[in-house]
Amino acid sequence: MAKTKEKYELMYIIDPDKSEEQIAEIVQKFKALIEEHGTLLELEEMGKRRLAYQINYKSEGYYVLARFESKPEFPAELDRVLKITDGVMRSLITVCVQ
Instruction: Note the pLDDT tens digit of each residue in 41-97.
Output: 999 999 999 999 999 999 999 999 999 999 999 999 999 999 999 999 999 999 998
Report domain extents, the chain: 13-68
Element housing 66 (H / E): strand 58-70
Do 87 and 18 contact (CB within 8 A), yes or no? yes
Q: What is the pLDDT of residue 5?
A: 87
Q: Which CATH number fits domain 13-68: 3.30.70.60, 3.40.50.2000, 2.60.120.620, 1.10.10.10?
A: 3.30.70.60
